[in-house]
A and B are shown apart, each in its own frame.
Chain A
Amino acid sequence: MITAITMMVGIGFFIALDSLYNGLDRLSVDDLINYRDSSVKIFSAAYDADRESYPLDKGISDAAAFATWLKKDPRVVAAAPRTQFLAQAGNYRDSIYVIGTVVDPVADPGVFALKKVLIGSYFTPQNGQDRQIILGKDLAAKLGLKIGDTVLLAASTRFEAQNADDFTIIGLLSTSDPTLNKSTAMITYAAGNDFLDLGGLVTEVDVRLRQRVNLSDTLSDAASVAAGVKASFPSLAPYSFQDLNKGFLTVLRQKRLWGYMIMLFILLLSAVGIVNTVLMSVYERVREVGVLKALGFRSREVVWMFIFEGFLVGCLGSLLGAALGVFINCYSIYVGFSLAGMGDFGGGFAFWGTLRGEWNPGSIVFAVIFGMVLAVIAAAIPARSAARMTATSALRFV
């Protein structure tokens, strides 16, 4: 029973840690989806060809109608238009180049979760008409500005005329992405249409998809929706999350590989514990082997008896471990562990929200089979040496 409990704890925590480890990766991806990239980003093909220079004359025509079409897909939760522009933000002494974003204050919070990481207030339809702005907190700090101060924004309009105006800072973004914190300058379409002479120009539509438990499902949905848009609207250039974050996902995969190696090391450490417990339980019973041999058991029968017992203990321990792992996973996936209060880890990296696990049936099956095989091997080794002993030696074994 002690062996089964040891296995249960080792295997249960392996499954739970694997789930949480995947959940940590998921948290990083979710942060990018929630604060920067959304699940799918759609540009016009013409804009896409010249995207690096943020042109303001190549937008998506009839973006509102396109967003309505998108929402017919059951996987799509929300879609919001955005227009990006290059600008300089200044405090009348210094200025910094920024990537400005024009947002729809009603639709945008449906796609991006920026309100959750906002210090100050967000745009409202009433105040959206005014010259108001949300800045990244590091950008504001660099300019020595705070909420309520005025920032001078200078940019080229759609017709390449230079324009500059004062905007009142109503909020500061404090995300886990240092780039956003250093370069965000966000205004509403009401203000942007006037300031940049946009005439309703939308350079991208961002799409939020339904929440899926597993990262692979999330990525698969994004790829599928992007492919659907591409097939139905050849003039558009859709990018799924993974298209936009190839490098990041490669690093994530590498990190996961290292993570698996660490998990494997942990599993091997618990394997040593499991093997030791099984070995002890077999060695404790060497005298029994002597009795059984004296009663007529053959060596082969002794080995098989211990292997069978090892298999049963392995089954029991592994299945109890899987049950424990699934139980912990149910909590971590459906309730989660709040990261509130963990704050900034330094270096601009911080976590918000709730850390949730992920289902990983592969690791559960692996852990169960690993436990069973380990118990059988651990039982077979001492059983073979006990079975090789003569009945008299086994009976004298202390």
Chain B
Amino acid sequence: MESILRLEGVRKSYVKAQRSVEALRGINLTIRKGEFLAIVGPSGSGKTTLLNIVGCLDLPTSGSVLYDGRELGRMSELELSVYRKENISFIFQSYNLIPVLTVQENVELPMVIERRCSRSEMRRRAREIIAAVGLNEMADRYPRELSGGQEQRVAIARALVKNPIVVLADEPTANLDSHTAEEIMSLMETMNHERQTTFIFSTHDAMVQRHARRVIVLHDGLVSEDRGEAA
């Protein structure tokens, strides 16, 4: 499988309560297209920081992050924003759907921001992906009218609608009961198989780790274990 992302000696430190905290202490990692990868580790091990850097939401203090050979650190804020818009999607622990938009509109949102296709094309693609996550009947509902599992399905549809290279999910099942969490993981697995989209998620959940084909264990800002298909 071709490599889409490479992290070389990535370090990230920030100041918290007037104290310098080193969240990542030299991460080396290669991620290939179509991987279904879990980043696990105790709280404070650097999972979310790593996910933010991979998602171009944050830049490393030192080291380099290369997407298709392009180094993120050399991109301007505008270039980063464009790169993120075109290639990366997010699924959040608390779904973060826009409450005033319907399911259909929430799913269309990334395409509206991208401004690449016509209104009718946006509508068609959104309907298609909403059907794929099993929410065909709910397209006109608002987030407040959905269950947690349904909201997370909408978040997955929103993440996948623009066919990103990478989908990053920060604790995607943390707010769900075990049955719904299992359903959501199966759905993401299906999408990963069907679309060859790379999924990277941070988690504490053992069930999520069972679904993952590769597991990276972080400890004190370092990769302590890398097991699975790419290892």
Contacts and interface: CB of A to CB of B under 8 A. Distances in A.
Interface of A: 287-288, 290-299, 390-392, 395
Interface in B65-110: 77-78, 81-82, 84-86, 89-90, 92, 96, 98, 109-110
A291 B109 CA distance: 11
B58 A295 contact: no
B93 to A, nearest CB: 10
B113 A295 contact: yes
Given A287-B96, A288-B98, A391 B57 contact: yes
B81 A395 contact: no
A298 B113 CA distance: 10
B183 interface: no
Interface of B: 52, 55, 57-58, 77-78, 81-82, 84-86, 89-90, 92, 96, 98, 109-110, 113-114
Given A287-B96, A395-B96, A294 B81 contact: no
30 contacts: A287-B96, A288-B96, A288-B98, A290-B96, A291-B90, A291-B92, A291-B98, A292-B113, A293-B57, A293-B81, A294-B57, A294-B84, A294-B90, A295-B85, A295-B89, A295-B90, A295-B109, A295-B113, A296-B81, A296-B86, A296-B113, A297-B113, A298-B77, A298-B78, A298-B81, A299-B77, A390-B58, A392-B57, A392-B58, A395-B92
Contacts of B109: 295
A291 B86 CA distance: 15
6 nearest CB pairs, A to B: A296-B85, A291-B96, A391-B57, A294-B90, A296-B113, A392-B52
A135 to B, nearest CB: 72
- Among A287, A296, A297, A392, max chain B CB count under 10 A is at A296
A296 B96 contact: no
Contacts of B98: 288, 291
B226 to A, nearest CB: 25
B170 to A, nearest CB: 9
Contacts of A395: 92, 96
B199 to A, nearest CB: 16
A168 B86 CA distance: 101
B58 A296 contact: no
A295 B92 contact: no
Given A291-B90, A297-B81, 18 more contacts: A287-B96, A290-B96, A291-B96, A293-B81, A295-B85, A295-B89, A295-B109, A295-B110, A296-B81, A296-B85, A296-B114, A297-B113, A298-B81, A390-B57, A390-B58, A391-B57, A392-B52, A392-B57
Contacts of A391: 57
B168 to A, nearest CB: 9
B99 to A, nearest CB: 8
A316 B149 CA distance: 36
B49 to A, nearest CB: 9
A298 to B, nearest CB: 5
A296 B92 contact: no
Most buried by A among B52, B58, B86, B96: B96
Contacts of B84: 294, 296
A178 B182 CA distance: 89
B124 to A, nearest CB: 20
A274 B57 CA distance: 34
Contacts of A299: 77
A127 to B, nearest CB: 77
Nearest to B95: A291
A290 B93 CA distance: 13
Given A288-B98, A291-B98, A296 B52 contact: no
Contacts of B57: 293-294, 390-392
Contacts of A297: 81, 113
A295 B92 CA distance: 12
Contacts of B58: 390, 392
A290 B58 CA distance: 12
Contacts of A392: 52, 57-58
Contacts of B89: 295
A363 to B, nearest CB: 34
Contacts of A287: 96
